Amino acid sequence: MTAPDPLLPGVTLLTAGAPVETAQAAVILLHGRGATAADILSLGPRLDSSRATQKLAFLAPQAPGRAWYPHHFLAPLAENEPALSNALATVGALIARIEMTGIPVARIALLGFSQGACLALEYAARHARRYGGVIALAGGLIGPPGTLFRYSGMLAGTPVFIGCGDSDPHIPLARVNESAEALAELGARVDRRIYPGLGHSIVQDEIDAARAILHALIDD
């Protein structure tokens, strides 16, 4: 459902699963370029092992104009500003809003596809601390080739999943590998999986891996 929130001005937010006020954990879902919050929210039932007991809250913000930033994630950073900073701020505001309900960051996961995956990884790297999980379906850290991924803070054991096809025309495997290495250096427990023959898409193995990370955030 759409949930106007006075504490998140200007953010169109769709939700599903448990109400965040009663959930044990929360997942922020970030859609790809040209898609919608409803599109990524449709993954929720496939990711939720607690559907019967309603323990996970899913929250999906909508990007203005259906894109979090205007250019490719490998473009010079300045070309994606100020949209990129605004998108990162939206994620931060949403995390803060969830924390206000009593859910700690260690039980908040970020999950994105494509441009949303890039945003999830970039946010976690720039604001490194122990998250419930970071799940990137076809994405990598943001910046042009040659970017030195130097961040402060520590992810302190945060489980990070990065899945990508070796035939993805949008996500170079070199960036996937660079991202995995940079996040591991920040202390993340990185699970990187490359799928032979897969293009810019999602496979069941990725859903299963994401579901396992999210299941670990709730009590049986």
Series of mean pLDDT values for 10-residue runs along the chain (220 residues): 64 93 96 97 88 87 96 97 97 96 98 98 98 98 95 96 96 97 98 96 96 92
Give the position of tokens 């193995």. 205
Q: Identify the pLDDT of residue 165.
A: 96
Dist. CA 116–CA 40, nearest whole Å: 9
Give the position of tokens 């898609």. 35
Q: Identify the pLDDT of residue 109.
A: 98
Cβ–Cβ under 8 Å, residues 198 and 171 = no
Q: Identify the pLDDT of residue 54.
A: 85
Q: Identify the pLDDT of residue 193.
A: 98
Q: Give, in order, the Cα–Cα distances in Å from 153 to each of 46, 56, 186, 187.
A: 32, 27, 7, 9
The pairing of beta strand 159-165 with beta strand 108-113 = unpaired
As given in the structure block, the two tokens for residue 160 are 């990070």
Bridge partners, 2 (sequence order): 14
Cβ–Cβ under 8 Å, residues 213 and 158 = no
Peptide bond before residue 82 is cis, with ω within 30 degrees of 0: yes
Dist. CA 180–CA 193, nearest whole Å: 10
